[in-house]
Amino acid sequence: MSTHLTPGRRGRTRGALAAAVLVALVLGGCAGPAATSGAAPTESAPAEPTPTESAPAAAPAATCDDATTSYAPTTGTEIAAGSTMAAIRDRGFLLVGVSADTLQMGARNPFSGQIEGFDIDVARQVAQAILGDPDAIRFRVITAGDRIPVLQGQEVDLVARAFTINCERWQDIAFSAEYFTAGQKVLVSTEAEAAGIAGIEDLAGLRVCAPEGTTTLERLDEYDVEAVGARTHSACLALFQQGRVDAITGDDTVLAGFVAQDPYARVVGDAFSAEPYGLGIPAEQVDMVRFVNAVLDGMKADGTWAQLYARWLGEALGPAPAPPTSVYGRS
């Protein structure tokens, strides 16, 4: 197909839905950075960064034969004096960059006001390991484009925000081992699906939205579509519901959440990428990477990972697969 889908009835029937999404954007994560503790939402405040003198020497230049290769984990989760983890423990909380509008992965619950999801619970496991309390955690709401800058500035201890591991990003930050494997798909209207749109190849000449600063948006250059950038996935959903774009592309984890919000939306086609998620960590803090990898390996082995998957993603994506295999060997 090479012509734009006429908004028509789709735009009119979705007016109320679009308005609701826009209100959510104002009240939720897109209102700006915010910090949330495990007890109740609080306003953002400048966080004390992990003291640089407590961190190890700068990491060597990253090599990238396999982007998912991380630093070998520590033996157990003991915290050494003078380590990055010791500094976090002394501060009293783990500071994590997250999404507040990615349903099932990291989203603000409209009833409780708490940010929750699979990514959030993974971060809580790290807080438990360092501080002995999964609620000893504060969240800083960030956009996809903020992920690398806040790590480079050591404004957060880690980022848990559907963060695809790739070689280019390893030049600026460090990643944990892979903790989730997603795949990029497209979301279209039920009308488009009925008209024969069955995947990315059927969207030639049409407008496809993805968040700015993501590999998702960059990958659209490989297809004959009109790429439209937006600040967040929820901003893409608002454009979609208004009929201003014809489709949204993103990881299946994100799109599954949109289907739950919009009865006129469908995820179609096979995944056309593999998106290995890792926790982002400042490049200089290799000791933190090794510690986090020990935490992740423990989750994968003791069933915690499968429990979190079933809680947050099982209904939309089906039974839990085996967790991703951790790959080590980076030096």
**pLDDT given for residue 5 in this prediction:** 53
**Could you read off the pLDDT of 43-54 as tens digits, one per residue?**
344 444 444 334
Query: What pTM was computed for the model?
Result: 0.73
Question: And the tokens for 272?
Answer: 């056309």
Question: Residue 78: which region, alpha, beta or left (left: phi > 0; alpha: psi -120 to 50)?
Answer: beta
Whether residue 237 sits in one domain with residue 223: yes
**pLDDT given for residue 63 in this prediction:** 60
**pLDDT given for residue 46 in this prediction:** 41
In the Cβ-directed half-sphere of 38, how many Cα atoms lie within 13 Å?
16
Mean pLDDT for 274-286 is: 96
Whether residue 291 sits in one domain with residue 253: no
Report DSSP letters for 246-265, one per residue. SEEEEEHHHHHHHHHH-TTE
Q: How many domains does the chain have?
A: 2
User: Closest Cα partner for 236 from 221, 216, 33, 89?
Assistant: 216
Question: And the tokens for 270?
Answer: 């096979």
**Could you read off the pLDDT of 55-78 as tens digits, one per residue?**
444 445 556 778 999 999 999 888
**Could you read off the pLDDT of 3-43 as tens digits, one per residue?**
445 443 344 344 434 434 333 433 333 333 344 444 433 33
**pLDDT given for residue 101 in this prediction:** 86
Q: Are 117 and 139 in contact (CB under 8 A)?
A: no
Report the C-alpha gap between 225 and 206 in whole angstroms. 5
Whether residue 45 sits in one domain with residue 153: yes
Whether residue 63 sits in one domain with residue 199: no
- What is the chain's mean pLDDT, rounded? 84
5 in any annotated domain: no
Whether residue 258 sits in one domain with residue 109: no
Q: Which residues, in sequence order, are bridge partners of residue 101?
A: 107
21 in any annotated domain: no
Residue 246 CA from chain centroid, whole number? 23
20 in any annotated domain: no
CA dist list (Å): 254 to 152, 187, 307: 25, 10, 19
Whether residue 236 sits in one domain with residue 191: yes
24 in any annotated domain: no
More confident residue, 31 or 115: 115
**pLDDT given for residue 62 in this prediction:** 53
Q: Are 283 and 222 in contact (CB under 8 A)?
A: no
Q: What CATH code is carried by the domain that includes residue 134? A: 3.40.190.10
Q: Is the dihedral of CA 125, 129, 135, 137 positive or negative?
A: negative
Q: Which of 233, 251, 268 is the last residue of a domain?
A: 268
Residue 129 CA from chain centroid, whole number? 21
Whether residue 148 sits in one domain with residue 92: yes
Q: Are 68 and 165 in contact (CB under 8 A)?
A: yes
Q: Which of 221, 246, 268 is the last residue of a domain?
A: 268
Whether residue 156 sits in one domain with residue 64: yes
- Place 331 in a pLDDT band, splitting at 50, 70 and 90: confident
Angle at 171 between CA 167 and CA 173, to 5 degrees: 100
Sole residue written with tokens 């919009």: 262
**Could you read off the pLDDT of 135-186 as tens digits, one per residue?**
999 999 999 999 999 999 999 999 999 999 999 999 999 999 999 999 999 9
Whether residue 157 sits in one domain with residue 78: yes
**Could you read off the pLDDT of 199-252 as tens digits, one per residue?**
999 999 999 999 998 888 999 999 999 999 999 888 999 999 999 999 999 988
Q: Is the dihedral of CA 138, 140, 149, 293 positive or negative?
A: positive
Which residue range(s) make up the domain with 246?
184-268
79 in any annotated domain: yes
